[in-house]
Chains A and B, each alone.
Chain A
Amino acid sequence: MATTEAPPRRREVLEQAVIRFCGDSGDGMQITGSQFTNTAALFGNDLATFPDYPAEIRAPAGTLPGVSGFQIHFSSRDVYTPGDAVDVLVAMNPAALKTNVADLRPNGALIVNVDNFREVDLKKAQCATNPLEDHSLDAYRVFKVELTKLTRLALLDLGLDAKSMDRCKNFFALGMCYWLYNRSMDPTYKWLDEKFAGKPILAEANKLAMKAGYSYCEATEAFQVSYEIPAAKLTPGRYRNISGNSALALGFVAAARRSGLTLFQGSYPITPASDVLHELSMFKEFGVLTFQAEDEIAAVTAAIGAAYGGALAITTTSGPGMALKMEAIGLAIATELPLVICDIQRGGPSTGLPTKTEQADLLQALYGRNSEAPVPVLAAATPGDCFWVALEASRIAVKYMVPVIILSDGYLANGAEPWKIPSMDELPEFPVRFRTDPEGFMPYLRDPDTLSRPWAVPGTPGLEHRIGGLEKQDGTGNVNYEPLNHERMVRLRAAKVAAVAQDVPDVVPAGDPDGDLLLVGWGSTYGSITSALSAQRAKGRRIGHVHLRHLNPLPRNLGDLLQRYRKVVVPEMNMGQLLWVLRAQFLVDAEGLNKIQGKPFKVSEIEAKIEEELS
């Protein structure tokens, strides 16, 4: 279906915009945001998103804890973050307005559904006065729209009940935003047809609501200006939109193919990691075996069993699940079996903030097991990077016969970005060969380069042997409690993980190769740090940025690099965990920039720290 686009009153070309949709968790804000994102991506903008939703499935409607939001930053230039300040805020009720308006920039557009600003709604949002009348919004351009009423009017002829009609009002708001940014509604039409293939009336209703929102803007004098954000100049190639969890899932399917192994995933549902399980459970045609276990421990131990049997085994979880898996990870360390553990971090401790992002599991990943139990640890920097990290972690796990931890977080997991689809020859190939020759076989005979032991899977004639969690003699693998043997084994396991450094490329700093200040980051802070770096260099500061993918072992040149700058600043969404590691390992007087609010850094927060350090 083609969209008729009447010429708007005035069109302005902008470089970028940030929109946030917020409303009750039942208002469909995540869908609205994803649709706008998809359309922007197909149009060719670079973008980043930040879905922010409550832990409760449906907190009482209209209340502050029930507010769900979705922010998208789209641009004709490179985008690294979801944006500090919001240009257009769509607020479906007073609670959403109250919790989000602080992020709207002065003179920004505020679209509110006035139908939801009755006395009772204000009370639920604990508003003493009506913000639409008390002048508290004077700094913004407020557009009061009867969203509920207008949506109902648009759907009058469909014969739907009031509840079903009201469910479409988010598409009215979406239609308004499409008009405002001169976007085609076709991708969303297509999506609705597929989504409601079995219930065409609902597809029709949402289309009508969206069209009504679009026409409302066209017909009324409300908006004097509409905007155009041209396509970005991305590296040539074919793109798709991808979230971190989807990218992880695809990365593991790719890793299984490139290693020639069957992918086995053991997992127990946990926010924000469950989507990796959902995604992988769909890929049966790739031979993927997904096991939803009875608990976190069964999830990891089943994966260990599968790895023992010769599968590419992974387990996916978040912080609380990691805590439960730690003893089992120790078993994989002791038995030297390949395994990839994904920790999609969230706020803690304990249950903490299940739907909010944090980076506070780094020390848990590095040190959270009994005794001397090092493992390689990798972290993804962007949603699309999760794909590459999954491949790299899998490659290291099977090459070194070692469990590997991947750290992602809630922001990467649910955030999306345009992702350049790799061609097959860009993907590393690492075919695995199991030990089959009984001649001279011993279960702990080591490869001199990697110190890895052979992968000798059950069913191989002549290789019958026993492994386990008890301390063993190197070579034979026989149980051994001798003091010197234990020390030798502890050192061997550590040396094996240290040997992974030969697979860790040297880091090359972005920005200045030496100078006044080096920003050292890891994980999802990549976007904010990158943007802050470029803004501050534009002001003439001599600063650099290294972003660590490998957190254990660290890149071999990192120590030298830290010496090339007068100051080292480590921005992290925790109390200073990488900072602690760097200080301990390199005796460097680094400074932390720490934010523990369940939210990613704003670019301005990092810039402020740079200015403070260099003033």
Chain B
Amino acid sequence: MTATLPVYSKKDFQTDQEVRWCPGCGDYAILSAVQSVFPELGVPREKFVVVSGIGCSSRFPYYMNTFGFHTIHGRAPAVATGLKIARPDLEVWIATGDGDGLSIGGNHTIHMLRRNVGLKVLLFNNKIYGLTKGQYSPTSEFGKKAKSTPFGSVDRPFNPLSLALGAEATFVARSVDVFQAHLKATLKKAAVHQGSAFLEILQNCNIFNDGAWESLTEKDMRDDRTILVEHGQPLIFGRNKDKGIRMKGLDLEVVSLGNGISEADLIVHDEHHPNPAYAFLLSRMDNRPGFPTPLGVLRSVDAPCYEDAMNDQVEAVVAKKGKGDLAELLGAGDTWDVG
């Protein structure tokens, strides 16, 4: 019997639970995008599991009409890893934040990525602790004045994309809560990636860190401050599409097109580039004077999935030795008979 997949709509992925994020929170936009994308993925609804840790972002599973597991602070990647190993048939998504995923759960995040477990990670980055009411986070800028740092933070922040790349991630991307079309398109790319897909979503916390990404999202600035990287396309940005990025020695350089500089001089984005150093260079453009902040898929390469490798090993041994016989196992080794 071939089961036909029901035709889902966004509504099928909404729950009856009252959404308890602050009015105006960027999380609403992310929830809406995910609820729009899931029906289009060709996956039966019962195969979806959303796993989260603790934090505002981690309330996400309660609002998705799928299987959902709201776990403990920082541990979603580990819970999801166990689930995916035991049940490779499931589509397991993680909703986490900059505190949950990079601070208390930083260890699990990097190890999930290096193992390449087939999990989709949505890291909501608002550069602040929201649920605990406004302390600086591991992505807050140096000098950030917050509840726990009245004189400014003396922590140097993580760059989530650089961190993911350094942890051997096979899919690294970034989008923004308010760029709905881009966000949905990137979610779809993450959904089809085999292995860990790490998607940082720049998200506004309008209560504790309002406008954290304003310089990137403001209509008249966004084209000059961000660059949408697309596989096979030259790195061009700017309101008038007149700026580009080319290699200069071992570094990147922003150039203006014209005056002898043409598209042919620019880097053509290759998300499959085998050397992660390229994607790393792109990730380092953040906060660099004159450089745009990259959005889109920085890196997407093929590598074996952890859960497949683990289950393949089991199958290979079963194929070689046959299915284990319990009586034989208990009676293995040197034995002797009495009476």
Contacts and interface: CB of A to CB of B under 8 A. Distances in A.
Name the residue in B44, B83, B327 with the highest tally of chain A Cβ atoms < 10 Å from its Cβ: B83
A284 B44 contact: no
B323 A293 contact: no
B108 to A, nearest CB: 6
Interface string B303-339: 0000000110110111001111011011111111111
Contacts, number: 208
Interface stretch (A197-205, A403-411, A465-473, A510-518): A465-473
Contacts of B17: 466, 478-479
10 A-B pairs with least C-beta separation: A468-B70, A236-B339, A305-B82, A302-B82, A305-B83, A284-B317, A286-B324, A466-B68, A298-B78, A305-B79
26 contacts: A233-B338, A238-B335, A239-B337, A240-B334, A264-B85, A283-B329, A284-B317, A285-B318, A285-B323, A287-B314, A291-B81, A297-B78, A298-B75, A298-B108, A301-B75, A302-B81, A302-B82, A309-B82, A311-B86, A422-B330, A457-B87, A458-B46, A459-B89, A461-B44, A465-B68, A468-B61
Contacts of A288: 314
Contacts of A302: 78-79, 81-82, 85
B38 to A, nearest CB: 12
Given A237-B337, A421-B335, A310 B87 contact: yes
Given A254-B330, A298-B108, A304 B71 contact: yes
A424 interface: yes
Contact of B335 (A234, A239, A266, A297): A239
B147 interface: no
B45 interface: yes
A460 interface: yes
Contacts of B79: 301-302, 304-305, 308
Interface residues of A, number: 73
A460 B46 contact: yes
A482 to B, nearest CB: 15
Contacts of B67: 458-459, 463-466
Interface of B: 15, 17, 44-47, 49, 51, 54, 61-62, 64-72, 75, 78-87, 89-90, 107-108, 111, 310-311, 313-314, 316-318, 321-324, 326-327, 329-339
Interface string A273-310: 00000000001111111010111011001111111111
Nearest to B313: A284
B69 A238 contact: no
Contacts of B111: 293-294, 298
Given A264-B86, A286-B324, A424-B327, A459 B47 contact: yes
A231 B337 CA distance: 11
B318 A284 contact: yes
A113 B54 CA distance: 62
Interface string A169-207: 000000000000000000100000000000000000000
A239 B335 CA distance: 5
A262 interface: yes
Contacts of B339: 234-237
Nearest to B104: A297
Interface stretch (A38-46, A57-65, A116-124, A557-565): A38-46
A466 B338 contact: no
A105 interface: no
B331 to A, nearest CB: 5
Nearest to B17: A478
Interface in A402-440: 421-424
A39 to B, nearest CB: 9
Given A44-B336, A239-B337, A458-B47, 17 more contacts: A187-B334, A237-B339, A239-B336, A257-B326, A262-B86, A286-B323, A301-B75, A302-B85, A305-B51, A305-B78, A305-B81, A311-B86, A328-B72, A421-B330, A463-B67, A466-B70, A469-B71
A287 B318 contact: yes
Interface string A311-351: 10100000000000001101100010000000000000000
A462 B12 CA distance: 12
Nearest to A456: B67
Contact of B331 (A286, A328, A421, A460): A421
A42 B336 contact: yes
A276 to B, nearest CB: 15
B69 A467 contact: yes
A241 interface: yes
Given A283-B329, A302-B85, A238 B107 contact: no
Contacts of A287: 314, 318, 324
Contacts of B314: 284, 287-289
A532 interface: no
A250 interface: yes
A244 to B, nearest CB: 15
Contacts of B313: 284
A22 interface: no
